[in-house]
Amino acid sequence: MRKPCLAAITAIWLLFRCSFGAAQPGDSLGFEGYCVNPWASGGAVAAGIVANLIGQPRLNDRPALSETTIQRVAATSVNPFDSWALRQDYSKRWSAHETSDRLLYSSLFLPALLFLDKDIRRDWAPVALLYLETQSINTVLYAWGPMGPTLVTRYRPAVYYEELPLEDRNFGGMRNSFYSGHVGSTATSTFFTAKVLADYHPEWGGKRALLYGLAAIPPAVVGYYRIRALRHFPSDVLVGGLVGAAVGILGPELHSRCRNKMAFSAVFGRDAKGLGMVCRF
């Protein structure tokens, strides 16, 4: 299990290196703000799709929990911060689950609103590709990363509810509490949107910080409903939000730093002739 995770992490690093380190202005899609290599970014998107198609069913189809395991988990104490998840109205869990799904799927299309801005609309192709790449990185991190449910086994709050029937507590996906993929994907989308807006409008100054405050609201709401649905503890939601926000911000940031990374200059005169190269890190 550790070898696939290590391979996935290596692939993520190589894709990032290729997409923002190896690209030259002639290789990009002409976007002035970010350096987007269509081949490397397209490869990252393809890797994310494959990782999701393989990883998600694998996580959901894990072996069912035995009755002994369920009883042992239900008798385990939970830290005070996470204990709120064990004080929910379990009869409303399916309604909360459906609400969290709807909010997640809606948030995935939020970056489309960026194209209402005429400056961003001119660069729709690289921005759209960059978003798909960023969301793909998030998908790979969740399905195969060292902090995701592949390596971290944590039982969902529903396992602790003895009031629920056994068939609602024993399927393999009940091991996937840490961390919240719903919140992570939502945060990736909202913080990506905020980051792109902030980069395009430096004239907004300190007001750009408000964008990140607004970006935190949808993941928080999704996290609330994931807790109400007995799918996650508060700490699962918090970590999912932090991971998603980091990916959503770092995706555009790393691609913006590759531009003008290397410059050449030539000096010719009566007293000196030379060629210089400047690298910026």
Please tell me the predicted confidence (pLDDT) of residue 27.
39
C-alpha 231, offset from chain centre: 18
DSSP string, 5-50: HHHHHHHHHHHHHHHHTS--GGGS-S-SSS---HHHHHHHHHHHHH
Please tell me the predicted confidence (pLDDT) of residue 48.
85
The residue length of the chain stands at 281
- The one-digit pLDDT tens for each residue of the chain (281 residues) are 444 444 444 444 444 444 433 334 333 343 367 888 888 888 889 988 988 888 888 888 889 999 999 999 999 999 999 999 999 999 999 999 999 999 999 999 999 999 999 989 988 888 999 999 999 999 999 999 889 998 999 999 999 999 999 989 998 899 999 999 999 999 999 999 999 999 998 888 888 899 999 999 999 999 999 999 999 999 999 999 999 999 999 999 988 766 545 343 444 444 544 434 343 43
∠ CA 19-186-42, nearest 5°, is: 25
CB distance 175 to 153 below 8 Å: yes
Please tell me the predicted confidence (pLDDT) of residue 7.
44
- Cα-based distances in Å from 128 to 8, 44, 67: 23, 13, 47
What type of residue sits at position 24? Q
CB distance 136 to 49 below 8 Å: yes
Please tell me the predicted confidence (pLDDT) of residue 6.
47
Please tell me the predicted confidence (pLDDT) of residue 258.
64
Preceding amide of 34 cis, omega within 30: no
What type of residue sits at position 190? T
The whole domain housing 15 covers: 2-279
Q: What does the alpha-carbon distance between residue 110 and residue 219 come to, in Å, rounded to a whole number? A: 12
Please tell me the predicted confidence (pLDDT) of residue 259.
55
Q: Which helix (H) or strand (E) holds 102?
A: helix 93-107
Residue 276 phi/psi, 5-degree rounding, is -120, 155
Q: What does the alpha-carbon distance between residue 248 and residue 256 come to, in Å, rounded to a whole number? A: 13
Which of 259, 238, 64 has the alpha carbon at shortest distance from 147?
238
List Cβ neighbours of 225 (8 Å cut-off, separation of 6 or more): 96, 97, 99, 100, 103
Work out how many domains the chain is built from and give that number: 1
